[in-house]
């Protein structure tokens, strides 16, 4: 495995900064490995319980239901009820999320940005997302979360 110490140190430096941590880059450049293996291993080595790391992979069949921002937010909120504990949320391939009708506001849609903004308000939750540049993430999230996100751009290493 290629060590990505520079990117790992960036993630560590952004921990608990109140921002959404956004990891972008081209497909197959190592975004998921950085988050789901290297950063996860770091957290575990620092004493974080595996149960306090919530992982969602939107490109996997088991997590397709969480492409809905409402379903994702509801699941996360149910898991982080113990306010005395710190939780980490890792969402992979966030560009696969979909907008859904808001059940409380007819005619309005709930987007991934709405959900991320809501989740960043929880003081016991630190949120990390990955996404390919190919669709929405690199420019849209910078625009939508200006001042509310920390971005790490991963470059392909040969």
* C-alpha closest to that of 30 among 115, 134, 152: 152
Residues 6 or more apart whose CB falls under 8 angstroms from that of 62 comprise none
What secondary structure letter does DSSP report for 36?
I
Note the pLDDT of residue 45.
Answer: 97
**For residue 134, with 0-12 CB atoms within 10 Å meaning exposed, 13-18 middle and 19 or more buried, which class applies?**
exposed
Percent of the chain with pLDDT over 90: 65
Note the pLDDT of residue 158.
Answer: 40
What whole-number distance in Å separates Cα of residue 90 and Cα of residue 20?
10
Model-level pTM?
0.89
What whole-number distance in Å separates Cα of residue 130 and Cα of residue 28?
12
Residue 157 has pLDDT above 90, yes or no: no
List pLDDT tens digits, range 32-91.
899 999 999 999 999 999 999 999 999 999 999 999 999 999 999 999 999 999 999 999
Structural contact between residues 87 and 27, judged by C-beta atoms closer than 8 angstroms: no
């Amino acid at each position: 495995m290629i060590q990505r110490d520079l990117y790992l140190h960036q993630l560590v430096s952004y921990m608990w900064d109140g921002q959404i941590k956004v990891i972008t880059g081209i497909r197959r450049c190592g975004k998921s490995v950085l988050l789901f293996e290297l950063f996860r291993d770091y957290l575990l080595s620092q004493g974080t319980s595996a149960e306090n790391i919530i992982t969602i992979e939107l490109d996997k069949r088991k997590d397709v239901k969480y492409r809905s921002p409402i379903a994702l937010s509801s699941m996360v909120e149910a898991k982080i009820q113990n306010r005395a504990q710190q939780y980490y949320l890792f969402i992979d391939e966030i560009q696969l999320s979909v907008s859904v009708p808001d059940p409380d506001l007819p005619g309005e849609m709930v987007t991934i940005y709405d959900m991320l903004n809501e989740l960043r308000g929880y003081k016991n939750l630190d949120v990390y997302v990955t996404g390919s540049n190919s669709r929405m993430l690199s420019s849209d999230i910078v625009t939508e979360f200006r001042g509310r996100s920390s971005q790490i751009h991963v470059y392909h290493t040969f």
